[in-house]
C-alpha cells in the first residue's frame, strides 16, 4: 500500500524509557494533503511517536523523513522551521498569558533565537518587522477562528473548546505544511467539535496535511481518508476507515486492551 506522495515517512522507530518499550519498530507514511488518523489503545505509543517525530524526544532507533529530508532527532524548532508542527496543550503551556501573547510566543525557534539580535542595532528593524508580521498573522487567524474577541483574555479562562482552537491557531503561526494534533477533540463540546473539524477540512483544502491522534472513533471514521493503527508500539494496520475496521486483528487489539 505505497502512497502516491508521502510528506512524512517514519521507518522502524524505536523509543524506550528505561525498561519500557514505548515504540517498537513503528513504520508508516502520511499522504500529502490528507487528513490521516493515528489510533490505537491507551499506551500503544501514539504520543511518544509524535514526540519522537517532532524532536521532543530523541528516538533510540529508526528514521524520520519530512518532505524528502531526513529530520531524525532534529530539535523541535528545527522541525517546525521545516514546516512540521504539533499542537501543545495550552493547559500545560502558559495559561497565565493572554490569547494574543500565546500567539506571539508560538514560533519560538524563529523569533526567540533572533531576539538576542535586538541588542545589535543593525538587526533591530528586522526583528521589529518579524514581530509586526507575526502580530498581523495572529489577528488574521484569531478572526478566522472567531476567537479574536478573546485576544486579551487569559488562556486559563478559555473553555476547553476555545483552548483547542487556540492550540490550532498557535500552531498555524509558524506557517507549517503539516500539523500533528494529539487528541484535539478531548473536552470539546459537540458544537465546537464541528467547528474545529470544519477548520481542519478547510485547511486541508488549502493544502495542509493533518495527522490526528483521536480517541473518538466517529471523528476518525468520518473525517480521515486514511487511518494508521498502532498496538504495542508498532503499526498493526493502515488503510481506509473501511479497510481497517474490517481487520479482525484491529478489533481484537481494541477489545483485548
Ligand atoms: P499513547 O499515546 O498511545 O496512549 P504513549 O506514547 O503515551 O501511548 O505511551 C506508550 C508507553 O510508554 C506507555 O507504556 C507509557 O506508560 C510509556 N511512557 C510514555 N512516556 C513515558 C515517559 N516519559 N517515561 C516513561 N514511560 C513513558
Ligand atoms: Mg497519548
User: What are 125-138's pLDDT values in tens digits?
Assistant: 777 888 888 899 99
Task: Check: CB of residue 44 under 8 Å from CB of residue 232.
Answer: yes
Instruction: Give residue 124 CA to ligand 2 midpoint distance, Å.
Output: 41
Q: How many CB atoms lie within 10 A of CB 64?
A: 23
Residue 110 predicted with pLDDT over 50: no
Residue 78 predicted with pLDDT over 70: yes
Residue 257 predicted with pLDDT over 70: no
Return the residue matching grid coordinates 493502515.
238
Instruction: Give residue 120 CA to ligand 1 midpoint distance, Å.
Output: 44
Domain ranges of the chain: 1-83+176-257, 93-175
Distance between CA atoms of residues 248 and 244, nearest Å:
9
Ligand 1 closest atom vs CA 48: 6
Say if residue 132 is exposed, middle or buried (CB neighbours under 10 Å; 0-12, 13-18, 19+). exposed
Angle value at C-alpha 220, between 75 and 6, nearest 5 degrees: 50
* pLDDT range class, residue 194, cuts 50, 70, 90: very high
The confidence score (pLDDT) of residue 154 equals: 92
For ligand 1, atom 17, name the residue with the nearest CA: 22
List all residues whose CB is within 6 A of at least one atom of ligand 1.
Answer: 17, 20, 22, 40, 42-48
| Average pLDDT estimate for 17-42 | 97
Instruction: Give strand pairing partners of 180.
Output: 86, 211
The confidence score (pLDDT) of residue 253 equals: 86
The CATH architecture to which 1-83+176-257 belongs is 3-Layer(aba) Sandwich (3.40)
Amino acid at each position: 500500500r505505497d502512497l502516491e506522495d508521502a510528506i512524512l515517512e517514519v521507518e522502524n522507530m524505536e523509543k524506550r524509557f528505561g525498561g519500557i518499550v514505548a515504540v517498537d519498530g513503528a513504520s508508516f507514511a502520511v499522504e500529502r494533503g490528507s487528513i490521516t488518523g493515528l489510533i490505537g489503545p491507551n499506551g500503544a505509543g501514539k504520543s511518544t511517536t509524535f514526540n519522537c517525530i517532532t524532536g521532543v524526544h530523541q528516538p533510540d532507533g529508526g528514521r524520520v523523513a519530512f518532505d524528502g529530508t531526513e529530520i531524525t532527532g532534529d530539535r523541535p524548532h528545527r522541525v517546525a522551521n521545516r514546516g512540521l508542527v504539533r499542537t501543545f496543550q495550552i493547559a500545560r503551556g502558559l495559561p497565565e498569558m493572554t490569547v494574543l501573547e500565546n500567539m506571539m510566543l508560538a514560533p519560538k525557534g524563529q523569533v526567540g533565537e533572533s531576539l538576542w539580535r535586538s541588542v545589535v542595532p543593525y538587526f533591530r528593524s528586522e526583528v521589529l518587522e518579524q514581530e509586526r508580521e507575526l502580530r498581523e498573522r495572529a489577528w488574521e487567524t484569531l478572526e478566522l477562528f472567531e476567537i479574536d474577541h478573546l485576544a486579551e483574555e487569559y488562556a486559563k479562562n478559555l473553555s476547553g473548546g476555545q483552548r483547542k482552537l487556540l492550540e490550532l491557531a498557535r500552531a498555524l503561526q509558524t506557517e507549517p505544511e503539516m500539523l500533528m494534533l494529539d487528541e484535539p477533540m478531548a473536552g470539546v463540546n459537540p458544537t465546537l467539535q464541528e467547528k474545529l473539524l470544519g477548520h481542519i477540512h478547510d485547511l486541508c483544502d488549502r493544502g495542509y496535511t493533518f495527522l490526528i491522534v483521536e480517541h473518538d472513533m466517529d471523528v476518525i471514521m468520518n473525517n480521515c481518508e486514511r487511518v494508521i493503527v498502532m498496538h504495542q508500539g508498532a503499526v498493526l494496520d493502515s488503510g481506509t476507515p473501511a479497510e481497517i475496521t474490517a481487520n479482525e486483528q484491529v478489533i481484537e487489539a481494541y477489545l483485548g486492551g
